[in-house]
Amino acid sequence: MIKIAIFLLITAELLFGKGVEWKTWSDAVALSKKNHKIIMVEAVRDGCHYCEDMQRDVFHDTVMADFIQKRFIGVKINMSRQKMPLDIDVSMTPTFYFISEDQKVIKTVPGSWNQEDFKSMLEEIK
């Protein structure tokens, strides 16, 4: 009975885990100024399977989401429906933009990543 309960708990976490809590751009700017955190903007488009891979394999993972949220304020911009902040020009999706609290792009990282490589890259951003 206990094994079944643990299995159900783990399954529920995988299916319904909170993942990264994405903020709006305006909320992220306010939080960045308040908490002195870098904003991580992910530029995506409808139908981008690499974007969907990142969401499923990286951002939906609870451990990875906690790691990201301790260091950054996440913003997801769907370019099929929204305009990029700061007039950023995006050539491919997904692309990640790391923005300082004074709204300057400090790093741009294109492409889809696995968890290990993405975490390693994030650790280098200060």
76-109, pLDDT tens digit by residue?
Answer: 999 999 999 999 999 999 999 999 999 999 999 9
Strand order from edge to edge, sheet including 95-99: 72-78, 38-44, 95-99, 105-110
For 5-19, the pLDDT digits (tens) are 344 444 444 445 579
What's the pLDDT score for residue 5? 38
For 39-50, the pLDDT digits (tens) are 999 999 999 999
Comparing C-alpha atoms, which of 42, 40, 18, 43 is closest to residue 29? 40
Q: Is 101 left (phi over 0), alpha (psi -120 to 50) or beta?
A: alpha
CATH number of 18-123: 3.40.30.10
CA distance 19 to 96: 17
Q: What amino acid is encoded at 96 in this protein?
A: F
Radius of gyration over every alpha carbon of the chain, rounded to an integer in angstroms: 16
Backbone φ and ψ of 51, nearest 5°: -65, -45
CA distance 53 to 60: 10
